[in-house]
Amino acid sequence: MGESLKEFTLFGINMYTLSNYRFVNWARNVRSRPHTYFLPDSVDDIRIIIKRALAENRKVRVVGAGHSWSTAAATDDFMVSLDKLNRLVHVDKETLQVTVQGGTRLKHLHRLLYPLGLAMQNIGSISEQSIAGAISTGTHGTGLGYGVLASQVLSLKLVNGLGELIELKASDDDFKAAAVSLGCMGIITEVTLQCVDLYHVEEKAEPVLFNDMVTNLLTWSKSEQHPKVWWFPHTRYAMMYSYTKVPDAIRDTFAKQYIDDGVVSKLFFRGFLSMGHLSHGFRPAVNTLISKIFLKKISRVNVNYKVLNVPMPPRHREAEYAFPLDKAQEVLLRLHDLINTQKLKMNFVLEVRFTKADDYLLSACNGQDTCYIGFYYAGEKNWERYLKLFEELAMEYGARPHLGKEFTVESSYIHSVMPGIKQFNTIRKAYDPQGVFENGFTQKIFSLTP
């Protein structure tokens, strides 16, 4: 292993280390000024960075695509990006397994898999994230037959807090910690994924009265492959989406996609959102207007990621809590009441999704089938008050926060609802004995564990 990092300058800028880098996440609610920003292109370089951090008494945070709302990736010390480690390493066509480097963006991964006739088993709403960043916060899609994205990982390699490269397989005990680990056990350099044959997905959606949606929610969530609800507060309606794998040919055109996704979703949605910014009093009327334009029956078939992903939404704030499945209906009715009685002026859809129980120590789905309720809001004004009210409701049900999104609950609460956190912390300390991967966020979460 070389002793020093590579030096390569272009127009006077070192392409591997930057000292004036400012980190801003996608939502622009998190900013930090790393002492040094590293763009390594080899595992050896990552090991050197960790050793330098240990020698200089600096902390290291690894950043993916910066698409978390939480401060999980932020640091004023060393920030490491794996943007240059984004290649396909190995494909096994017999077992449908692929190995990719940790910095590979999901959207890039879909395009690598497509010509191989392969696909990820399930995905979330967007594919901007890096594969390592996505699994590390417990990113999920929807469907009670599907776990968080980390459940597609068969093995991974990481550089731990001593600068050692370690490989973990799903059958290893520590994998349950490493699969969802917030960058706290090491820098994940490679993941091997269990893929499936490329599939098409049929999207069907229709507007349903809010009360009917709630009444049917549990039965429906169990009968559909990928069910999702978008609820437009202040209107009587919710859209119930179901996504199903089908052998059918593509029934979607570029023009239709462009009009539906590009023009309708982006321009109209953004336009109405900015009207909603003018005065909070307009919001119910604006939501009704949006619902009249948007809420129509949809039916189309396309390649999995083109249907399961949605167009990038306007910038907004986002919290999401994992509720026990059997409480979902009650929670939605109470949230409906909360919005009305507290006169919250919501200006974004609220989202309902489902995920299978797992045994990853930091996963919000640990030990329970889950109904995720996403609480979304565009703008700053009132956000903190609204979030607090939503969280008070969530806490009554022992709901667990999505660690890549916003939350303000105390660490004592997190410890009371996440049964694996103590064991995770013990394993984390073995991988990172000097706490080189800590930041304010991880210190807050783990502060109560011995």
Ligand X SMILES: Cc1cc2nc3c(=O)[nH]c(=O)nc-3n(C[C@H](O)[C@H](O)[C@H](O)COP(=O)(O)OP(=O)(O)OC[C@H]3O[C@@H](n4cnc5c(N)ncnc54)[C@H](O)[C@@H]3O)c2cc1C
| Interface positions with ligand X (CB under 6 A) | 26, 61-68, 72-73, 82, 102, 124-126, 129-130, 132-134, 136-137, 139-140, 182-183, 187-188, 313, 402, 404
Nearer residue to ligand X within complex by CB, 237 or 441: 441
Q: Parallel, antiparallel, or unpaired for β 153-159 and 187-194?
A: antiparallel
Q: How far is the CB of 446 from ligand X (least distance, A)?
A: 13
Report the residue number, 82 or 98, with the smaller CB distance to ligand X.
Answer: 82
Q: Which is nearer to ligand X, 107 or 251 (CB)?
A: 107
Instruction: Return phi, psi of residue 155, to 5°.
Output: -160, 160
Choice between 17 and 122, CB closer to ligand X? 122
Rounded Cα distance, 22 and 326, in Å: 44
Four-point Cα dihedral 295, 297, 302, 306, nearest 10: 10
Q: How far is the CB of 156 from ligand X (least distance, A)?
A: 9
Strands 78-81 and 36-38: parallel
Residue 146 · residue 369 · CB < 8 Å: no
Q: Which residues pair with 118 in a beta bridge?
A: 197
Q: Compute the least distance from the CB of residue 343 to ligand X, in Å.
A: 27
Cβ at position 338, least distance to ligand X in Å: 23
Find the shortest distance in angstroms from Cβ 236 to ligand X: 26
For residues 198 and 115, give the distance between their C-alpha atoms in angstroms, rounded to a whole number: 9
CA 399 to chain centre: 17
Integer Rg of the chain from CA: 22
Pick the closer one to ligand X by CB: 191 or 339: 191
Q: How many CB atoms lie within 10 A of CB 115?
A: 8
Tokens standing for 296?
């129509």
Classified as helix, coil or strand, 205 is strand
Closest approach, Cβ 316 to ligand X, in A, equals: 8
Tokens representing 199?
A: 């599939």
Q: Tell me how far, at minimum, the Cβ of 249 lies from ligand X, in Å.
A: 27
CB neighbour list of residue 69: distance below 8 Å, 6 or more residues apart: 25, 27, 29, 30, 317, 318, 319, 404, 405, 406
Extract the tokens encoding 82: 């794996």
Nearer to ligand X, 83 or 289 (CB): 83
Give Cα 206 to chain centroid, integer Å. 26
Residue placing its CB nearer to ligand X in the complex, 183 or 207: 183
Residue whose CB is less far from ligand X, 139 or 302 = 139
Q: Tokens at residue 68, please?
A: 């978390």
Decide if 363 contacts 150 (C-beta within 8 A). Answer: yes
Nearest residue (CB) to ligand X, 187 versus 295: 187
Nearby residues of 278 by Cβ (< 8 Å), 6 or more positions away? none
CA 347 to CA 44: how far, in whole Å? 47
Least Å distance between CB 307 and ligand X? 14
Name the minimum Å distance from CB 72 to ligand X. Answer: 3
Residue 361 gets which letter from DSSP?
T
Of 66 and 143, CB closest to ligand X? 66
Cβ at position 105, least distance to ligand X in Å:
8
